[in-house]
Amino acid sequence: MPIDVSPRSASTDAAAKASVGRLDYEVADLSLAEAGRHQIRLAENEMPGLMALREEFGPTQPLQGARIAGSLHMTVQTAVLIETLVALGAQVRWASCNIFSTQDEAAAAVVVGPNGTVEAPAGVPVFAWKGETLEEYWRLADRIFDWTAEGADGPNLILDDGGDATLLVHKGVEFENSGAVPDPSAGSGTGDTASAEYRVVLDTLRASLARDPQRFTRIAKDLIGVTEETTTGVHRLYELSAKGELLFPAINVNDSVTKSKFDNIYGIRHSLPDGINRATDVLIGGKVAFVAGYGDVGKGAAEALRGQGARVIVGEIDPICALQAAMDGYQVARLDDVIGEVDIVITGTGNTRVVTVEHLLGLKHLAIVGNVGHFDDEIDMAGLEALPGVEKVEIKPQVHEWRLPNGRSVLVLSEGRLLNLGNATGHPSFVMSASFANQVLAQIELFTRRAQYPTGVYTLPKTLDEKVARLHLSALGAQLTELTPEQAAYLGVPVEGPYKLDHYRY
Amino acid sequence: MPIDVSPRSASTDAAAKASVGRLDYEVADLSLAEAGRHQIRLAENEMPGLMALREEFGPTQPLQGARIAGSLHMTVQTAVLIETLVALGAQVRWASCNIFSTQDEAAAAVVVGPNGTVEAPAGVPVFAWKGETLEEYWRLADRIFDWTAEGADGPNLILDDGGDATLLVHKGVEFENSGAVPDPSAGSGTGDTASAEYRVVLDTLRASLARDPQRFTRIAKDLIGVTEETTTGVHRLYELSAKGELLFPAINVNDSVTKSKFDNIYGIRHSLPDGINRATDVLIGGKVAFVAGYGDVGKGAAEALRGQGARVIVGEIDPICALQAAMDGYQVARLDDVIGEVDIVITGTGNTRVVTVEHLLGLKHLAIVGNVGHFDDEIDMAGLEALPGVEKVEIKPQVHEWRLPNGRSVLVLSEGRLLNLGNATGHPSFVMSASFANQVLAQIELFTRRAQYPTGVYTLPKTLDEKVARLHLSALGAQLTELTPEQAAYLGVPVEGPYKLDHYRY
Amino acid sequence: MPIDVSPRSASTDAAAKASVGRLDYEVADLSLAEAGRHQIRLAENEMPGLMALREEFGPTQPLQGARIAGSLHMTVQTAVLIETLVALGAQVRWASCNIFSTQDEAAAAVVVGPNGTVEAPAGVPVFAWKGETLEEYWRLADRIFDWTAEGADGPNLILDDGGDATLLVHKGVEFENSGAVPDPSAGSGTGDTASAEYRVVLDTLRASLARDPQRFTRIAKDLIGVTEETTTGVHRLYELSAKGELLFPAINVNDSVTKSKFDNIYGIRHSLPDGINRATDVLIGGKVAFVAGYGDVGKGAAEALRGQGARVIVGEIDPICALQAAMDGYQVARLDDVIGEVDIVITGTGNTRVVTVEHLLGLKHLAIVGNVGHFDDEIDMAGLEALPGVEKVEIKPQVHEWRLPNGRSVLVLSEGRLLNLGNATGHPSFVMSASFANQVLAQIELFTRRAQYPTGVYTLPKTLDEKVARLHLSALGAQLTELTPEQAAYLGVPVEGPYKLDHYRY
Amino acid sequence: MPIDVSPRSASTDAAAKASVGRLDYEVADLSLAEAGRHQIRLAENEMPGLMALREEFGPTQPLQGARIAGSLHMTVQTAVLIETLVALGAQVRWASCNIFSTQDEAAAAVVVGPNGTVEAPAGVPVFAWKGETLEEYWRLADRIFDWTAEGADGPNLILDDGGDATLLVHKGVEFENSGAVPDPSAGSGTGDTASAEYRVVLDTLRASLARDPQRFTRIAKDLIGVTEETTTGVHRLYELSAKGELLFPAINVNDSVTKSKFDNIYGIRHSLPDGINRATDVLIGGKVAFVAGYGDVGKGAAEALRGQGARVIVGEIDPICALQAAMDGYQVARLDDVIGEVDIVITGTGNTRVVTVEHLLGLKHLAIVGNVGHFDDEIDMAGLEALPGVEKVEIKPQVHEWRLPNGRSVLVLSEGRLLNLGNATGHPSFVMSASFANQVLAQIELFTRRAQYPTGVYTLPKTLDEKVARLHLSALGAQLTELTPEQAAYLGVPVEGPYKLDHYRY
């Protein structure tokens, strides 16, 4: 069974690495795996949702027979997710959904398995390392669909984050149907980054077709469905569904309350100040912070900064969210109008060019600029790079001083990408436990009740959302009150829930 | 034109009062009206949503031709609502939806009209006073359907709060169809309070049928629709709709974000401590407060109490809300487990018997118990009254010390009914401005685009919800950011909104 | 034994009233006393410090032989203080220290005594009613020095608030020494308010000299000392001491931590929003509030307003306090620079003309202006009254709309005097329990250890300050940790305290 | 001019290193210095107090002639302090006051000087590196008294942190007076750590006496005084003064409001969550945190944890602080009573064995335990190490899992030493700017107004404390209000301050 994990893979010959069998696994990697195992053990303590699911479903093995192709950041938390899926009976193959996000020690530990040896019962094949090239990334993504080692044709479930695994299947089927992968050089020829990556996707699929012209067609037919983690992935799924091109059912995990509200608000509340602190060591207290966007991310960001003694000003385009910000006691202003008094600018909008070059030029000397929203274009980094006379000085990794032609500087964190990931360690385990418990329940739901889910996009039933919350309460010492039958009848809800209408906003 | 307003109406012969013409209006009442006019003027300053609608729609008079029968607490804020409807062209007749909630000076001022005289252009007929009997209440409710003075058969729109006006029409049509009003004494004979009130409804309708056996049938046919303010009323409408018995379209104003989130969270945050303070003058700081329920009401209550320095413990049955409370830093516990350390118990659940007699017996001496939820049975007042040996001592109106057989006492506010209404003055004007701007927009929507609304229950389109928010921003000095066309295209939303999907939770 | 209590005293012939004996006390007053007794009983539950002192010192009667002349707002809380002094063995005579602050029912209840009858053991002579004239005020102040009914020449202790009782003795001695009371008309003839009141003081003392030319000289010789409640009174004492004119020792109760920090911060945090709410019913959430001064009063005010969702801007002259405000996340600005965006202005500075007429003219229409600082000149009310074209409209008692010549209005609370007293009910009982426990301990300290206190001004030893705190913990369910002997030795403090150096700032 | 700086010094022959001259400075160190210079430049932006003092006093050079021996953590912030002293005219020699706290790049940058070369004008001799032995530490401390390279006998000012430099002079004089350094082996022979260090002190002084038997006697005579940074050092000074053994005047910088309140509250509020996050990546939100001590450190800690959504329980021995905690809304409890529900334990007491082995055994599995108080014995680390069956596993540097015999583990941060230093980077620059501005002003005060300071311990005059605050306001955009002459007269304070009495508590 070939594996791909090693931090050195990236810097040595990764292609050769891909053919290394697990039994050849080096001592150095075992010690890496051991370090990862430590962290997994600590993380398990912070992921009560997943551990409770192991306890509840371990005996009945509801995922017995499930073959899961996973594409999601290969972190310590994901290691706990993977091992939970295995504990429930599933076979799993895994890749990361981002070229930088893999924690190598976590990958190594999952490959080696909980027993700490490569002997049986061994771990799970992981195809990921920190710092992949785009070519490596898509080649590794392809590997999670190759189940010959497990004696199968392909997976019957996808667990996706951002939709790349789902994309590969859909594009694969499309090209297998048309009999050929299009020539990217014949395309629009724009030559931008997206096209560059798309060319790699096409190369990857061209190689697949060459090997087996019906491979993804067979895989798609076998697939019971996909569970999708993020806004972006969900967006793609709804688009496919709307165009009638969706090939199998999908569960939108992203919009569970215990996912979207929890990781956006509480995850950001934790990881935003963490990222700013690790990047700059600048006192947040007393400073003026501008938070662009007062959705869930912005709400968490504003609360965190206020909790550290900053004065927070909120920017919003949506009058409802703006009114919420005002009622929560924040000044609501346009960045243009307050730019000269701001010490820290944080974007969390999902929008583009929220912070323009003009804004950057208007800031105080050494103001801090960072993004916890979605893509790296919330801050106009391209515009900044193109600014004549600008100079970029690395203070330390992921922290750059941009010396502006006006004599002032700004500190940009993580090159405008997610600073809570780039300068800190992203969402903490407890938050991911809620997200991932939704994932596990969604996988179980699709696998065991597949007949209920014709092709389409679904959110998890509220009862499962409530279940995820329930699994995290006792770890916090929270005691739930139970309805009496009389009270349940009065409210017209079952004693055991669900308790709210679907449109309830929490 | 007969009017019904006067605080003395209740204590004198209300039936005779009903035939008093406006020109006979007494001097005392004019000074009452003058006091109300002062308050209305102050309230207008706090109701920027309604005032902006007057400015925007005053010139085009979109409600010209509308005949609105309103049933909603006849307060100062409602006076501003009524006068806004009139300013937009409507004719209006009004009753209160609660026997206690009328502010007589507000009613008087509306009757007299903004000019301060009873000469033309005079005010609006209001049929309401503080402290109506049930018989008076339903007779007055009937009066808002009597439009002979205005030269019409009946209203063409209802603006309802709790659904009593809507009920009267539906029951009226039902009995007119069957040709007779049933005899309540032939009924189940349970003799409880609800039945007592229902008997009054039947009497009211029996008198109507005697006068005109097709009256409500004609009225229902003329009705373009109803806009409903509250959870309870909305619940009734969905039930009618589900049974196919709904007679005209209905707009659910309650579930606009700018209504439900705003008055529940921010209204309660304001009026809960206000009510406790006026009732007891007890220092909230340092005290242990138990908040039952962490929905919007509970969230506002907990924030208010923490903001005054109390230590707040939250009780919840819903694990998602419970987890939110924990993540917000509150202890989550069962009332049973902490009863002995609690100084203040506040219910905001919409549930029944959340605070039982056993709880009351377990509290500290002179603990404060109050309700800001829905009905007065959140606290088991009936059980308390029935407790052998209990003694009720009035400390002041709406504040009672209940001396318990165990030698301790509890202070119960507003007899277990809404303490923010009973001990304070309810939601402040600014909050009601948001609710009522939704009402006005819903009335305009139904009246001007009636073809879009076949019989059924609708929520307001998000664009109007956003509009209501927008109207309240500048009064708070909040400056909205505007999307560039490039950004709008990137997000796939119009520059002017709406900005969010319908299921967005805020 | 003559008494002076009755709300009707003020409106009838007060001089005659002064000769009414207790046994003639009218039925109406007994019912007033009964109402007061109810409130006293509720207040006792909120004054654990005083109740604990009754329990601790009741058996040993440390104040046996003490004759206390008290001059302090005659409220329900003061009633609990008076009855605590009596419970510890003291004889007491009482006047108010403010012409408006007496709660008549509290006064009545104290006169009648806890048994609810005027039979022995009866209550305490109280010389106070709500709404005294200045002449009445000083005549009543004189009465607390007249102990013939108790068979004594005068008091041996003063409990003072603001220093009026102390002033009377010092001025009395001064004039008795010089043999005559000066003629005020021969004075500077400025004719201002202060002089008007001083003229009354001189009249009062002239009458005293006429009756008994050595009265205050004898009283001063008998006096063991005074305990003083407030900043103003303490200031006078330090001045007297510095000039060598202080006649007896004084304990500065005001500067106990459990007094100054507690009533200023926590008392204001409670009573400021309470006052604004009762006065205006305006939503505080979302509004821009300017708090002038960030001492203890300002800290409590800012926290309260932020806790209600306001955006708070702080004005400060002291850079240390200003930096504290900034570090606590507040904008720090000059009122001049932000006047046009402010909805609520609150002063808490102890300074004069902090809000000028120019400020009032610059505010938004119907902005709210109030004071929780010290005197009524923090807002330039005199300047406002003198403004040509201004119009004052009473909205309700203690709430006035001032219509300005620029067409806008401002709402001024309590005529610029303390709004938390004028529009609400002042500091709650729990806060006063801490203040008054300091008073009781100070009285015991002076009376039982008088030899330790030569003439001079003292603060209470830290051990008593800590004791006051200790007495309030269990009512809040707070559990104190106890030092081990090893830890105490390590820190170099006694196990039972005091724990901090005198200059520790808390 | 010999220098001692290099990270490699520690691992190579440090004694030899001491004789390396600056012109031999290696390239590697220059690049280290360059990295330090970057950080100094960023820190300068966050230290407005020091930069303002450079601007104000640079022209007049008030420290011309001052020879300052500094002993204080050799960090980036201290580099800004040193260069400020130099900018004001002083000559400086520097050592660290802690064997671990030196940031080598900061030391290197200071040695090299702001010009970035070792050519004149060159930098300041620094004798410090990260990870000194005790022998190295005291030898380096001795070097700051050796001013032969500057052509002087010794310093005329000490800037001290913890009192080690002051100790060396006092002990040196004592032994020079007695003619010999005592033999530690003849002592009590307890052999504990303190004695071990004291033995090194004696060895250091013995070598000094051997070289020059009157060296410290001459130095002490020349010394104008010392300015001391910390509680511990101040405590030693008051003891020396009380015993009449203090040799020169001392200014207690620690008790300036802008020092003690600012770095304890706002520094800890920043660095505590930073340390926990970097150490553990555990979500703080929703967790139960126990904060031992509610002095300034505990107040900052509790606020930070609550600001992250934790539920905070406070432990206190002082009833006044305990009551403050309760009034701030925290549960106040004994650790013993709540140990089983606590996720995070933080000590900030200055006391010993606040967290005992019994407590550690009672905690939840993998609870986090850390100290931000004073010494490392707030947590009984010695007891934990001695616990039979305990196992210590390093998770990463400064983070250890202690596996307890009961099967549970605890995570101990920084071995029980200050976690905000060990796991994060200590107080941020802005906070140190306030502390260090006090230091600079104290040095100027002693040097320029030495006649005003006979031998004794002084705090800085309030006017300088206010000045420090003033220097930090504009960087935060805070606008101070200025008293009018009329207002200043009313308050009886100068327009320019100071504004408060000395005992004012802030």
Instruction: Name the residue facing B316 among A258, A465, A481 (closest C-beta).
Output: A481
Give the pLDDT of residue C438.
98
For residue D417, give how far its alpha carbon lies from the nearest alpha carbon of chain B (Å). Answer: 27
pLDDT tops 70 at residue D504: yes
Instruction: Name the residue facing C329 among A311, A327, A328 (closest C-beta).
Output: A311
Best CA proximity match to B11, nearest among B143, B132, B97, B142: B132
A320 has a chain C CB within 8 A of its CB: no
Tell me how far apart the terminal alpha carbons of chain D are, to the nearest angstrom.
47
Residues in chain A within 8 Å Cβ distance of B357:
none
pLDDT tops 60 at residue C356: yes
Q: What is the distance between the alpha carbons of residues A103 and A40, in angstroms, rounded to a whole number?
A: 11
Confidence of residue C403 (pLDDT cuts 50, 70, 90): very high
**Residue A90 falls in which region: left (phi positive, over 0), alpha (psi -120 to 50) or beta:** beta
Q: In whole angstroms, how far apart are CA C322 and each of B221, C202, C325, C356, C413?
A: 67, 43, 5, 21, 26
Confidence of residue D359 (pLDDT cuts 50, 70, 90): very high
Domain limits at D383? 266-423
D16 has a chain C CB within 8 A of its CB: no
Give the pLDDT of residue B10.
35
Residues in chain C within 8 Å Cβ distance of A328:
309
Q: What is the distance between the alpha carbons of residues B119 and B22, in angstroms, rounded to a whole number?
A: 9
Tracing tokens 């691992």 back to the chain, one arrives at: D11
CATH number of the domain residue B299 falls in = 3.40.50.720
pLDDT digits (tens, 9 = 90+) for D432-442: 999 999 999 99
Instruction: Name the residue facing B332 among A318, A354, A479 (closest C-beta).
Output: A479
Q: Residue D491: CA atoms inside 13 Å, Cβ hemisphere, count?
A: 24
B102 has a chain C CB within 8 A of its CB: no
Tell me how far apart the terminal alpha carbons of chain B are, to the nearest angstrom.
47
Residues in chain C within 8 Å Cβ distance of B275:
none
Encode A253-292: b = buried (16+ Cβ within 10 Å), e = exposed: bbbbbbbbbbbbbbbbbbbbbbbbbbbbbbbbbbbbbbbb
Give the pLDDT of residue B123.
86
List, as own/partner pairs, every contact residues D22-28 make where C-beta atoms lie below 8 angstroms and the sequence separation is at least 24, other chains included. D22/D111, D22/D118, D22/D122, D23/D118, D25/D111, D25/D112, D25/D118
Q: For C92, phi and psi rounded to 5 degrees?
A: -140, 140
B312 has a chain D CB within 8 A of its CB: yes
CB contact under 8 A, C331 and A310: no
| H/E segment holding residue D34 | helix D27-45
Q: Mark whether C135 and C201 lie in a shared domain.
A: yes
Better-scored residue on pLDDT, C203 or B196? C203
pLDDT digits (tens, 9 = 90+) for B401-426: 999 999 999 999 999 999 999 999 99
CB–CB of C471/C54 below 8 Å?
no
Residues in chain A within 8 Å Cβ distance of C311:
326, 329-331
pLDDT tops 50 at residue B25: no
Q: What is the distance between the alpha carbons of residues D292 and D354, in angstroms, rounded to a whole number?
A: 7
Confidence of residue D193 (pLDDT cuts 50, 70, 90): low
pLDDT tops 50 at residue B499: yes
pLDDT digits (tens, 9 = 90+) for D116-153: 655 545 789 999 998 999 999 999 999 999 999 899 99
CB contact under 8 A, A309 and C330: no
The stretch B288-310 carries a mean pLDDT of 98
Q: Where does residue B148 rank: exposed (0-12), middle (13-18), buried (19+ CB within 10 A)?
A: exposed
Q: Mark whether C281 and C185 lie in a shared domain.
A: no
Q: How far is CA C415 from the centre of its chain?
A: 19
Residue C459 lies in a domain: no
pLDDT digits (tens, 9 = 90+) for A301-356: 999 999 999 999 999 999 999 999 999 999 999 999 999 999 999 999 999 999 99
Q: For C399, phi and psi rounded to 5 degrees?
A: -130, 115
pLDDT digits (tens, 9 = 90+) for B100-131: 899 999 999 998 888 765 554 578 999 999 89
pLDDT tops 60 at residue D308: yes
Confidence of residue A195 (pLDDT cuts 50, 70, 90): confident
Residue D489 lies in a domain: no
Confidence of residue B219 (pLDDT cuts 50, 70, 90): very high
CB–CB of C393/C352 below 8 Å?
no
For residue D286, give how far its alpha carbon lies from the nearest alpha carbon of chain B (Å). Answer: 4
**Taking the CB of residue B39, how many other CB atoms lie within 10 A of it?**
22
CB contact under 8 A, B478 and A326: yes
Tokens of C189: 């003839």
Q: Mark whether D303 and D154 lie in a shared domain.
A: no
Q: Mark whether B167 and B36 lie in a shared domain.
A: yes
| H/E segment holding residue C166 | helix C164-178
Q: Mark whether D339 and D398 lie in a shared domain.
A: yes
Residue B169 lies in a domain: yes
List of chains touching C (3+ CB pairs within 8 A): A, B, D
Confidence of residue B17 (pLDDT cuts 50, 70, 90): very low
Instruction: Name the residue facing C476 among D326, D337, D503 (closest C-beta).
Output: D326
Of C366, C398, C423, the residue that ends a domain is: C423
CB contact under 8 A, A285 and D307: no
A327 has a chain C CB within 8 A of its CB: yes
CB contact under 8 A, A328 and C306: no
Of B405, B423, B441, the residue that ends a domain is: B423
CA angle A396-A399-A403, nearest 5°? 105
Q: For A459, phi and psi rounded to 5 degrees?
A: -95, 160
Please count the structural domains in chain C.
2
For residue B274, give how far its alpha carbon lies from the nearest alpha carbon of chain D (Å). Answer: 19
Q: What is the distance between the alpha carbons of residues D261 and D255, in angstroms, rounded to a whole number?
A: 8
pLDDT tops 80 at residue C191: no
Crossing angle for the helix pair A429-448 and A76-87, to the nearest 10 degrees: 30
Write out the binding residues of C.
75, 161, 229-232, 259, 263-264, 293-300, 316, 351, 420, 427
Q: Where are the beta strands (DSSP E) in D39-197?
A: 67-71, 91-95, 126-127, 157-160
Residue A364 lies in a domain: yes
Least confident of A37-46, A184-193, D451-460: A184-193
Amino acid letter at A198? Y
State the pairing for strand pair B344-347/B331-332. unpaired
Residues in chain A within 8 Å Cβ distance of D266:
283, 285-286, 309
Q: Mark whether B104 and B204 lie in a shared domain.
A: yes
pLDDT tops 70 at residue C27: no
Write out the binding residues of C for substrate.
75, 161, 229, 259, 263
User: How much of chain A exceeds pLDDT 90, in percent?
Assistant: 84
Q: How far is CA B42 from the centre of its chain?
A: 21
Q: Which residue of A has its CA nearest to B497?
A: A318
pLDDT tops 80 at residue C9: no
Best CA proximity match to B84, nearest among B342, B489, B483, B441: B441
pLDDT digits (tens, 9 = 90+) for A243-270: 999 999 999 999 999 999 999 999 999 9
Max Cα distance, chain C (Å): 73
| Mean predicted lDDT score pLDDT of chain B | 91
For residue B347, give how far its alpha carbon lies from the nearest alpha carbon of chain D (Å). Answer: 20
Residue C391 lies in a domain: yes
B290 has a chain D CB within 8 A of its CB: no
DSSP letter for C289, please: E
Best CA proximity match to D313, nearest among D329, D337, D299, D332: D332
pLDDT tops 80 at residue B460: yes
CB contact under 8 A, A332 and B469: no
The count of CB pairs under 8 A between chains B and D is: 33
CB contact under 8 A, A286 and C327: yes
Give the pLDDT of residue A119.
52
Instruction: Name the residue facing D329 among B311, B323, B328 (closest C-beta).
Output: B311
Q: What is the distance between the alpha carbons of residues A410 and A401, in angstroms, rounded to a whole number?
A: 6
Q: Mark whether C214 and C284 lie in a shared domain.
A: no
**Taking the CB of residue D429, how many other CB atoms lie within 10 A of it?**
26
For residue C500, give how far its alpha carbon lies from the nearest alpha carbon of chain D (Å). Answer: 9
CB–CB of D89/D63 below 8 Å?
yes
CA angle B460-B465-B470, nearest 5°? 155
Tokens of A420: 């809570």
CB contact under 8 A, C328 and A309: yes
User: How much of chain B exceeds pLDDT 70, in percent?
Assistant: 91
CB–CB of B145/B219 below 8 Å?
yes
Residue D105 lies in a domain: yes
pLDDT digits (tens, 9 = 90+) for D236-272: 999 999 999 999 999 999 999 999 999 999 999 999 9
Q: Where are the beta strands (DSSP E) in C27-150?
A: 67-71, 91-95, 126-127
Give the pLDDT of residue D196.
87
Residues in chain B within 8 Å Cβ distance of D329:
285-286, 306, 309-312
Q: Mark whether B217 and B286 lie in a shared domain.
A: no
pLDDT tops 60 at residue C4: no
CB contact under 8 A, B312 and D328: no
Of B399, B423, B447, the residue that ends a domain is: B423
Confidence of residue C350 (pLDDT cuts 50, 70, 90): very high
Instruction: Name the residue facing D46 among A274, A283, A288 (closest C-beta).
Output: A283
Instruction: Name the residue facing D286 among B286, B309, B327 (closest C-beta).
Output: B327
Q: Mark whether B222 and B278 lie in a shared domain.
A: no
Best CA proximity match to B183, nearest among B195, B192, B173, B194: B195
Residues in chain D within 8 Å Cβ distance of C466:
318-320
Residues linked to residue C67 through DSSP beta bridges, in sequence order: C91
Q: What is the distance between the alpha carbons of residues B249 and B237, in angstroms, rounded to a whole number?
A: 10
Give the pLDDT of residue B199.
95
Give the pLDDT of residue A12.
36
pLDDT tops 60 at residue A20: no
Q: Mark whether C48 and C167 lie in a shared domain.
A: yes
Q: Which residue of D has its CA nearest to B324?
A: D286
Residue D443 lies in a domain: no
Q: Mark whether D320 and D200 lie in a shared domain.
A: no
CA dihedral A306, A312, A316, A321 (to 10 degrees): 40
C160 by DSSP, 3-state: which?
strand
Write out the binding residues of D.
75, 161, 229-232, 259, 263-264, 293-300, 316, 351, 420, 427
pLDDT tops 90 at residue D4: no
CATH number of the domain residue D129 falls in = 3.40.50.1480
CB contact under 8 A, A38 and D393: yes
Residues in chain C within 8 Å Cβ distance of B425:
281
CB–CB of C505/D506 below 8 Å?
yes
Q: What is the distance between the alpha carbons of residues D209 and B429, in angstroms, rounded to a whole number?
A: 83
The stretch D39-64 carries a mean pLDDT of 97
Best CA proximity match to C3, nearest among C30, C28, C34, C24: C24
* Whether pTM exceeds 0.90: yes
CB–CB of D289/D342 below 8 Å?
yes
CA dihedral C86, C87, C89, C93 (to 10 degrees): 0
C312 has a chain A CB within 8 A of its CB: yes
Q: How far is CA B271 from the centre of its chain?
A: 14
A277 has a chain D CB within 8 A of its CB: yes
Residue A279 lies in a domain: yes
Q: Give whichever of C2-11, C188-197, C281-290 has the largest mean pLDDT.
A: C281-290
Based on C-alpha coordinates, what's the Rg of chain A?
24
Give the pLDDT of residue B34.
87
D192 has a chain A CB within 8 A of its CB: no
Q: Where are the beta strands (DSSP E) in A135-229?
A: 157-160, 225-228
Q: What is the distance between the alpha carbons of residues C258 and C471, in angstroms, rounded to a whole number?
A: 11
Instruction: Name the residue facing C322 among D266, D327, D469 (closest C-beta).
Output: D469
Residues in chain A within 8 Å Cβ distance of D308:
269-270, 273, 304, 307
pLDDT tops 50 at residue A407: yes
Confidence of residue A193 (pLDDT cuts 50, 70, 90): low
pLDDT tops 60 at residue A22: no
Q: Mark whether B325 and B212 lie in a shared domain.
A: no
The stretch C180-202 carries a mean pLDDT of 74
